[in-house]
Structures are given as structure tokens and as C-alpha cells.
Structure 1
Amino acid sequence: MSGTTRAVIAKGAGGPDVLSIIERQLAAPGLGEMIVRVHAAGINRPDVMQRQGNYPPPPGASDVLGLELAGIVESVGPGVTRFSPGDRVMALVHSGAYAERAIVQEGAALPIPAGMSFVEAGAFPETYFTVWSNVFERAGLKAGETLLIHGGTSGIGTTALKLAKAIGAKVIVTAGSDEKCRACVELGADAAINYRSEDFVVRSRELTGGRGPDVILDMVGGDYMQRNIDAIAVDGRIAQIAFQQGSKAELDLLPLLMKRITLTGSTLRARPIEMKAKLAAALEANVLPLLAKPEARPLIDSTFAFDRVADAHARMDGGSHTGKIVLVMEERG
């Protein structure tokens, strides 16, 4: 089964006004693929970067925006054994989530737990896959350790906060206003640092008795890279997942040796389906059971109807959101 779908592309690079809803032919699902009727799709920072012309889709991928979705399986291709038409799923995709129907690889899909809405599920894959991979697998955060999260009210930030608290870690966040700091504390952060009025290096070391945080999750880059090295504890791990302030900096790497620091970084979008399938299995085993409690589910800032995708991106551009912004194609669920 194939047919057509309405979908969102960027006609040129620029602001939210370059987004356009078009009619697009949808191919029949191939080996290991499914067609999902999308009910909700999360809005993420990489979508904004793609719209601005700074983050093109991988070679061979669709130009339709969107990295995560939730919906109902409509049809399956050869080799699909785990899901059937009618199943509720949420999935990570390399493109194509901003559409009424989308191609999904079975390996990167997960069942939506009972009691979880399509909106919550549509906000799950991109941030939870990213946080689990970088904070827990690569940086090895453990119960009793302290995690410093830059950008605590972002989708990534709120997800990392929730998962770290769920496993028994302590959490310090940075945010750009006292209001955002209060929001993070209300979500469960042990402390919040307003980076506009406090030095996060000094304050994070004070909050950890002079040790510094064991793990830092950073998407800022720029001069934060040296400051992270200064702040981190002995045997600490820094997980770099983006460079919002640039990927170049002058660094003194002597502390890398003296403090035995691990500096790691990764992206998800272009990685092979085999890796994403392993990550999905780890999430199913370790994270989906936590979703029985609403406090472990994605924090939703706002929802926008499909036809208001430009407004959803304007909300993201404004930077005042706390949690995930979600595009809603279907009102059911």
C-alpha cells in the first residue's frame, strides 16, 4: 500500500515562513519498512537547523522534515515481523515525520506503552534515543553521580533530567532565566544555575563539594567546551551532542590528562539502522518500563495543528518553551 501524503518541506533556507505543506507520493514499504499514519511528530532543534539550511538530510533521505513520530501502522513491507497493521508505534526516522503518513523502519520503532498519548509518544524518540545513547551508554551515568545539563528546559534537557532522576542520579541544570531555573527545580532538578548571572563552573563545583559534576551533557559548544573541562570532576565524562555556539574553541587540554577526562560526542541521524535497532532494544528494556509513571514521560510545552507548522517553528525559534513542541496530525489518542 502506498499512495500520497501531505508533508512539510522547506522551500529555501530561512525562517518559519519557508515551510510549505505539499502533496508527496509515498512509495510502498520496502524490506523491514512500515507505513505509519502519523498522529503526532515532535519538533526538534535539528529540524530548525535543516530549515535554516545548516543541517541537510543524509544522502538518499527525503527532504520532508521531522525526526520522530507516533501513529498507527497502516501497512507493512516484507520482513516486518514485530508489528502489524493497527499497532500503535513511536519511531525515530532520518526524515519524513512531518507528514500525515510516513515510512518507518521497524528496527527504529517501539510500541507505545498503555496509557501514553500520541502527543507524548510523538515527543519521545529523538530526545530519549539521544539522551540514552550519550548520557547513559557513552558517558556511563550511574546512580549517585551528578549530571550537569546545559539547557535544562529544552526537550533534550528535560528528558535528561527526568531519566537521570529516575535512575537515582543528582542533577544540576543551567538555564537562561530565573523562571526557567524554577521550572527545572519543579521538574526535579537538585539545583539550577542561571548562566546569565552566575558562573556555572564555580557554582557547579560549589554544589558538588568542590568535586565538579561527574557527567556533563552539552549542546552549546563554543567557549563552553573549555569551561566544561574546567568544571568536570576527576574521571568525569563530557558528552557533546551539538554546537549551538560553534564547534571551534581554543582549549587547554592538560586537564584531560590530569583529571582523566573522557570527552565523547555523537549524532544519531545518519547512523545505520542496525545501531538504531540496538538502541531501541536498550530503550525498550530500560526506559519503557519507567513510562508507567507519567513523570517519566516527555514534558510537553505545546501542541500545534499540522497546518500551523510555521507557528510551531516560531515557538521553537523564540526559545521560551519548556519541554517539547509537538505537531499534531490527528486529534485521537
Structure 2
Amino acid sequence: MAEMRAVDIHGGKGNISALHITTVPKPRPSPAQALVKVKCFGLNRMDLLQREGLYPVPEGASKILGVEFSGTIEELGEHAEAGGDFKKGDEVFGLAYGGAYAEFIAVSTRMLVKKPEGMGWEEAAGIPETWITATQALYHISHFTPGKSILFHAAASSVSIAGIQLARADSASAIYATARSDEKCSFAVNTLGATAAFNSTTTDWVQEIVKATNGRGVDIVIDFVGADFFAKNLEVVAKDGVIVNLGFLGGTELPQGTNLSAFIRKRVTFVGSALRSRDVEYQGKLRDELVEHALPRFKDGRFKVLIDRVLSWEDVQEAHRLLEENKTRGKVICCVY
């Protein structure tokens, strides 16, 4: 059986020190898949949770960490080849259900995108999960349209970085953000173009946003914090507004006495969503939207993949440490050298 190197976890789950590179069986593509030789892979917070045994892997998916990558097509399944869209040697990036922390990955061709000429491997590896998640949250979950206002929490996270750029390009009336440092707030305004950003640890960001919107609030809130911001999000959301929850950095249990009256008083919609648990058909439609809506703007430079750090995959422990410290502004990328 052919073998390859991949990142593994001692004991199946554990802390950062459990990560190591070992030899595992090389995957074989199914008829509808391509085998891609991985150049780089992007890190996401779900990787930290999966490493600790707190994120269930979709049924049938590789247990190897990682869902986004860039690389070259090594082999095509018979049905994938018959489609004619891809050929051996094509430079691609894509989204998978798992398996990206490795030298090779087998993935549905439905989730592959041809890498534009001139785009770096590192940049390409930072697009799929991040930008598809932002696309899903804005257009499919919150139903963002030009003229709406929006608040992104965790402004320096990769999904918010993508979302702020998408909202700006599609004429949001105002884009607000929160972050846990003044540096990240400045980054959101001066680099990303947010209307205003507020330090959530040193300012009353609820009152600042209420003041900035003349008491109206924002039409859409994109939240990764969860319990800690739940009640505050209800204060800043406008009537008929939408709150989209994508994570639980601030916990999952609401304090006793949390007031839910805004749900009726403001006619609020609260939606929780995830991408990895969706089927290929759903993800494929988002992939098409990414290609049609965002890829041309990557090509002409209007959209940027902001990368905080590029490391060798031999330094995967350090890469996970960077994410856990919450000090990054943009993607952490590992390259398979």
C-alpha cells in the first residue's frame, strides 16, 4: 500500500504537544474525486477543537486535520476525468471534510477551484473555508443586501476579514466591528475599511454602536463569541434584524436572568450555522458563488487574503499555538515542503 506523511495526534486527541508528523496510507480517489498533492493548508479554529476531541468529524471524512488547501492534481477518478473540467497537473485550491494536513488529499472535484495564475499557494490555501463561510453567513443566512448595516465580532479573525471585504464591496451602509485590542480595532478600520471598531474589553461597545446608529442598531450581527455577547447582541440589533452565530469563543451557557424580550419586541431572527456538516451539493453551490462573485476580485486585487504567518508544516505545533493565543490578524498557513 502506498504511503504518505501526515500530521497525526498521539492518542487520537490531546493538547498541542500531541501533534506530530507520521506515515499513513496514501488516500485513493473515488470515481468523483481528485487526488491532490498538497502545497499548503490553512488553519482554522475547528482544527483546535478537533485536536482536543471536541469537534465531531463528519461521517466518512478523513480523521486527519484540515479542511482547506492548495496544490496540484496528481490523479483523477474516472468520473471526475470524464467531466473535463480538471486534468492532471492543474493547480487548484479547495475545501474538504478533512485530510488537508498531509502530503496528499482525496477530495470531490465539485469542491475544487483552479488557482488563478499569479496567486500564491499560501494565499490560495487561505481562501476556501474562510471565504465560503463568510459568503454563507452574509448571503444565505443573514440575507445581506446593499444598504444594510452589519456588525462583525472578532474583527481580526479570517472570516470577519473576508466578511468585511464582501460587505464593503457590496455597498453596506455601515460596517462595525469589535476586537479585544486597540491594534486589531485599528486594523479593522485602517486596513479592512470598517466604518468603526470598538475594543470589547475596554469600551462599552453596545453603547458606542447604539450611538453611532442614532439608536437604530445594526441590521446584521455576525458573532463567534456566543454566550458572553448574546444579550449584548440583542441590544445592538435593529428591528427585524438577524444575528448569525458561528462560534462559542465566549461559552455556550447563558447566565440566569438573561432577557429574551428583544426577540419579540424587535422581531429578531437568531440563526446558528455551520459549513462542515453540510453536504457536497450545498457546499458546491457556495463554491460556485465564490468563483462567480469573489474570484474575479481576487484576480484584480480588490479582495485580499490577509496572512498573519506562514510556517513549515514541521512547525504545526507552533501554528496551533498561534491560533490558541488569539493574537493573529488573518490566516495562519502551513506549507508542505
CA distance in 2, matches of 1:319, 1:223: 17
Partner of 1:4: 3
CA distance in 1, matches of 2:89, 2:304: 23
How does 1:1-333 map onto structure 2 within 5 Å?
3-12=2-11, 13-80=13-80, 81=83, 82-169=85-172, 170-187=174-191, 188-250=193-255, 251-330=258-337
Answer with 319-328 or 261-270: which moved more: 261-270
SS of 1:296's equivalent in the other structure is coil
Runs of 4+ in 1 over 4 A off after TM superposition: none
Return the offset for 1:39: 0.8
Return the offset for 1:75: 0.7
- What letter corresponds to residue 66 of structure 1 in structure 2? G
CA distance in 2, matches of 1:92, 1:62: 13
Per-residue Cα deviation, 1:135-182 (whole angstroms, up to 9, x for no partner): 222101122221111100111121111111121212111011111111
CA distance in 1, matches of 2:189, 2:16: 32
Return the offset for 1:321: 0.7
CA distance in 2, matches of 1:113, 1:210: 44
Return the offset for 1:295: 4.4
CA distance in 1, matches of 2:302, 2:323: 23
Per-residue Cα deviation, 1:171-228 (whole angstroms, up to 9, x for no partner): 1110111111111112211111000111221111112221111111001101311211
Does the 8 Å contact 1:61/1:94 carry over to 2? yes
- What letter corresponds to residue 8 of structure 2 in structure 1? I
CA distance in 2, matches of 1:270, 1:9: 22
TM superposition score normalised by structure 2: 0.94
SS of 1:79's equivalent in the other structure is helix
SS of 2:118's equivalent in the other structure is coil
CA distance in 2, matches of 1:203, 1:74: 53
CA distance in 1, matches of 2:95, 2:273: 16
Per-residue Cα deviation, 1:81-127 (whole angstroms, up to 9, x for no partner): 22111111111111101111111111111122232211011000111
Matched residue pairs, number? Answer: 329
Does the 8 Å contact 2:27/2:104 carry over to 1? no
Answer with 319-328 or 194-203: which moved more: 194-203
CA distance in 1, matches of 2:183, 2:234: 27
RMSD: 1.5
Return the offset for 1:59: 2.4
CA distance in 1, matches of 2:103, 2:273: 30
Q: State the percentage of identical aligned residues.
A: 34
Structure 1 unaligned regions, length at least 5: none
CA distance in 2, matches of 1:119, 1:147: 29
Does the 8 Å contact 1:134/1:265 carry over to 2? no
Return the offset for 1:328: 0.8
TM superposition score normalised by structure 1: 0.95
SS of 1:134's equivalent in the other structure is helix
Per-residue Cα deviation, 1:230-255 (whole angstroms, up to 9, x for no partner): 11011111111111222222543321
CA distance in 2, matches of 1:152, 1:295: 19
SS of 1:325's equivalent in the other structure is strand
- What letter corresponds to residue 112 of structure 1 in structure 2? K
Does the 8 Å contact 1:8/1:65 carry over to 2? yes
CA distance in 2, matches of 1:16, 1:296: 33
- What letter corresponds to residue 181 of structure 1 in structure 2? C
